[in-house]
Structure 1
Amino acid sequence: MQKQKQRLWLPPGPRKLPIIGNLHQIGAVPHQSFAEMSKKHGPVMLVHPGFVPKLIVSSADAAKELLKAHELDSCGRPPLTGAGELSYNYLNVAFTAYGDYWRVMRRLYVIELLSIKRVQSFRFIREEEVEFLIKSISEFSKLGTPVNLSEKLISLTADVTGRVAFGKSFKEREYEYFGADFEEEIHEAVVMLGNFAAADFFPYCGWIVDRITGLHRRLERNFKKLDAFFQKVLDDHLCSGRRITEEEHEDIIDVLIKIGKYETASGTEKITHNHIKAILMDIFLGGSHTTAISMAWAMAELAKNPRVIKKAQEEIRNSAVVKENWRLQPPGTLLAAREAITRFNVSGYTIDPKTQIQVNVWAIWRDPNAWENPQEFYPERFLDSPIDFKGQNYEFLPFGSGRRICTGVHKAVAVVELTLANLLYCFAWKLPEGMTEEDICMEEEAGIAVQKKVPLKLIPVEYQCSSESKMYKVAVYLYLNAKHHITCKDINITTVRRILERVFA
């Protein structure tokens, strides 16, 4: 009788079939399938892919209750096949279980690697790489041919992240050979992390299915290629006997090598080469590819909405465009899977330990109860709005919330805002001949980060500015520098000269 009573308090959900559960109801783009199911079963819904119970939360109120009132109860991470392989058996911060080791690693990320101060110190890298991007796009402008923006943005973020992480971009001779191949492997890793692995939902026999389908072999091959690259850049740092001069900046590997003698939470295990490579994997998967995906979606939305792009170019306020893009086209449509650590209640329903939990932010951001005209790309909704991305507005969580909030938020925001501002203020954008706004493909390709199924190609038209307009551009760039936390004393003659040379080139 007690068992029956407890069952009645479990969250509602679709009827499951023997063995496969609800797998037959989850399509190629899971967040859309879950959104449709939640319309029938409610914003707190229990589904069963295979033998694993999974809670899907699809409203801002339920997300707030889960992530605020029950944060400690729900901040575990489920052991997943792709995550375990690509994180060197959960040595990074993104996929490791909640506990002492996670706390030490997160402190390392927040204080040493991705703090606001560290992000500011790499400002010159962002500026130089964005400048190179603009110059390369200018060549397409001269020819009047379309540029593959999806590809260009992936190269940009890979080069920025490469210089931040190990001091070299993929344009430089040492790593040029790896460039295109590395970007493909990072893309493959993002897809693998979002792929269905039978072992995750059928614990006792799923591994057999993964070997039959080739998933296991594909994942192993992907990991070996990425591991070989990370080992090379680590060896280059260890063998070069390099010394950091006053003119140079420490990269992330330098920082990790310097603190390599620090002990981790166990008190005996130290930061090893695998720890460093796991952190590099984390930074590239979470901070490079997803940032490029986000910017490609933003440019696609702007290309579909000429009114918005004109307004953004006229008013130097692209932060509203960035927020609206994250709302309508979030790279992470489902927040990374959590796992219930203890039993607790959400919206009156019992959530048992070991239940996987995902917040469907894609559904929340299209909820008419939370947003007016949610399907419309309307950046003005964020003008003079207190809503931000720091995890306290539960109707808008592009980086998550609480202890599990993305540690790379400052880096991502800095890259996205600076890049989009330059793309908008340096070029007008046209569609390829014969295309209309309605022809822009907005189909999604599933993965841990949801990207455009068809790469975005646009024709850049470089502005032919008058002297007055160019002086206005100087003001724009100085404004952007101010936006990225540069004080007056930092805007020295070198900075101004670089800006002037670029504007009057």
Structure 2
Amino acid sequence: MLSYMQSILIFLPPSCIFLYFLYTKFSHPSSTPPQNQPPSPPRRPIIGNLHQLGASPHRALQSLSNRHGPVMLMHLGRVETLIISSANAAREAMKTHDLVFSSRPFQSITHKLLYGSKDIAFTPYGEYWRKVRSIGVLHLMSSHRVQLCRNVREEETSLLVQKIAQSCSSGPINLTDLFVLLMSDVICRVALGRKYSEEENWKSLEALLRDFMNLLGAYNIGDYIPWLAWMNKFNGLDARVEKVVKNMDDFLEVVVKEHKISKKFETENGLDFVDILLKIQRETDPTVDDETIKALILDMFSAGTDTAHTVLEWAMSELIKNPKKMERLQIEVRKFAKGNTECINEDDLTKMGYLKAVIKETLRLHAPVPLLIPRETTQDVKFMGYDIKSGTRVLVNAWAIGRDESLWDNAEDFEPERFVDDNNNNNNSIDFKGFDFELIPFGAGRRGCPGMSFAIAITELALAKLVHKFDFSLPDGLRGEDLDMTEAVAIIVHKSSPLIVDAITYNG
């Protein structure tokens, strides 16, 4: 038996190479490559450059771009992938050639999770995308709709403050868990009409949402080396996806049926997102089927819950690590909130320039999705002087652009002052809304995130209320510089360890 296994191990690699050669030779006839391609790191047979991505792809790609340039062509298995790591290249891709760069590549796991990519974020560019994007922008994520949800944000952030105040004397507080719960409650109320955290099955639903997000960013070898897709049956990935798809659909099916039975969507006021979508289905566009509704709701959870709580977690972590920045923010917030015995509200936030600078600086250093959702070119294009083929996958490294030393002084340091209007620098007018390509945590152009305003509104309010009501420190006498800032890498990058703090109520 041992000799047999040794023979397999000896002959398997060359056999795989031979089979791969036959597969590429006869199944996919090669075409003549463009004459002027971007520089490429050296690659290996079959896997190409996959081995160079490592455990933190955004960091690995930054390192490679420092050697090969801000525009690289990498071969991830059989997938030619354009890597963009500069503001100028991002501007050309998402502004000058935005239409050419506006599609999405097929990704088998997201395709299954999102009902055949019927959502906004991952669906390919075309008529269907224009329809669902219009629904999202006009009916779900408009400025008017964000304002209508204001009372939900203010109520839930006040509950967060109450929970922390009640726990102050009981020992250290897990802020990460509280942030996750806050965002889940807000999204559930706005999208589904009620909070599920108060129900018996909340833990199982929370675990399901966590599994969904983990799979959304899961690595699938079959997408890059198709003839190795069989491996997913043996490593359990296919089974995990099928389980999550079924359980999530069971949950959403109940949600949609409950809303249909209630017929609340027949009224005009107090509608949640499911009601609005059902109203569109009934009165405007019957092609918006139940699967589309479910996919759009999943977009809300994936874009709203994880992104917002991650930004809040990194912001609080950086402030605790930099106590002078925390002190400046507290002085500002407490100054504008003075005399307000209850709590600050969203009207107060417009006066808080340093608060907004803290959010910008957090997004610069810790872009929630460091490699923006992949794009795909729809036709051959001349890009930054290079010839790029139609069907090329495109990854924009927003994390690397945010730490580009040619754009930012002290690029690795947390310095909100760089965004303050009264500070004499070149960055104070830069914003994250998709017009300044030095800071694109939410993307830009046609495929920019439509939920940006919603995420920022809840993040700003929660952060302001926290620093208004509490003084924070690390437990067990740890200092700010001792705080673990290690990343846990997935499609959304959060801290690898929860943010545990001591909190003291401020009575000034």
Aligned to 1:363: 400
Match of 1:399 in 2: 442
1:341 corresponds to which residue? 378
- Name the counterpart of 2:258: 236
- The answer to whether the aligner puts 1:216 opposite 2:238 as a matched pair is yes
CA distance in 2, matches of 1:355, 1:171: 42
TM-aligned CA deviation for residue 230 of structure 1: 1.4
Q: Superposed, which structure 2 residues align to 1:110-125 within 5 Å?
A: 110-125=137-152
For 1:502, the equivalent position in structure 2 comes to none
- Read off the aligned partner of 2:88 and give its amino acid letter: D
Partner of 1:498: none
The answer as to whether partners of 2:371 and 2:395 remain within 8 angstroms in 1 is yes
Partner of 1:159: 185
1:501 aligns with none
Q: Does 1:54 align with 2:97?
A: no
Letter in 1 for 2:433: K
Structure 2, unmatched stretches of 5+, are 1-29, 334-351, 422-427
2:496 counterpart residue number = 453
1:38 counterpart residue number? 65
Query: SS of the residue aligned with 2:395?
Result: strand
Q: Is the 8 A contact 1:154 1:289 kept in 2?
A: yes
Give 1:294's aligned amino acid: V
The answer on 1:252 being equivalent to 2:273 is yes
Q: Which residue of 1 aligns with 2:415?
A: 378
Residue 5 and residue 273 in structure 1: after superposition, are their counterparts in 2 closer, same or farther (change >3 A)? closer
Cα deviation code 1:437-473 (max 9, x no counterpart): 23211111111111111111111111123xxxxxxxx
| Whole-Å separation in 2 of the counterparts to 1:8 and 1:364 | 28
**SS state at 1:433 partner:** helix
Partner of 1:468: none
The question of whether the paired residues in 2 share the 8 Å contact of 1:76 and 1:340 is answered with: yes
The residue type paired with residue 179 of structure 2 is: L
Distance 2:246 2:181 in 1: 22
Q: Report the AA paired with residue 307 of structure 1.
A: K
Pick one of 151, 174, 180 that aligns with 1:148.
174
In the TM superposition, 1:271-286 aligns within 5 A as 271-286=288-303
TM-score (norm 1): 0.87
CA distance in 1, matches of 2:362, 2:213: 20
1:371 is aligned with what amino acid? W
Question: What is the aligned counterpart of 1:86 among 113, 132, 139?
Answer: 113
Corresponding residue for residue 193 of structure 1: 216
Partner of 2:306: 289
- String of CA shifts for 1:45-68, please: whole Å, max 9, x gaps: 011111101111001111111111
Confirm or deny: 8 A CA contact 1:76 1:338 kept in the other structure.
yes
Work out the CA distance in 2 between the residues paired with 1:112 and 1:71. 24
Matching residue of 1:206: 228
SS of the aligned residue for 2:418 comes to: helix
Instruction: Say what the alpha-carbon RMSD is for the aligned residues.
Output: 1.8
CA distance in 1, matches of 2:163, 2:172: 12
The amino acid of 1:434's aligned partner reads: G
Question: Given residue 161 of structure 1, which amino acid in structure 2 is its aligned partner?
Answer: I
Instruction: Name which of 325, 330, 340 aligns with 1:308.
Output: 325
> What is the distance in 2 between the residues matched to 1:280 and 1:4?
41
Decide which moves more: 50-59 or 229-238: 229-238
Does the 8 A contact of 1:75 with 1:338 survive in 2?
A: yes
Alignment partner of 2:315 out of 298, 316, 323: 298
| 1:106 partnered with 2:128 | no
Distance 1:31 1:262 in 2: 45
**Deviation, structure 1 residue 387:** 1.0
Q: Does 1:433 find its partner at 2:469?
A: no
Please, which runs of 5 or more residues in structure 1 have no aligned partner? 466-505
CA distance in 2, matches of 1:263, 1:48: 44
**Cα deviation, residue 245, structure 1:** 7.1
* Percent identity of paired positions between Structure 1 and Structure 2: 39
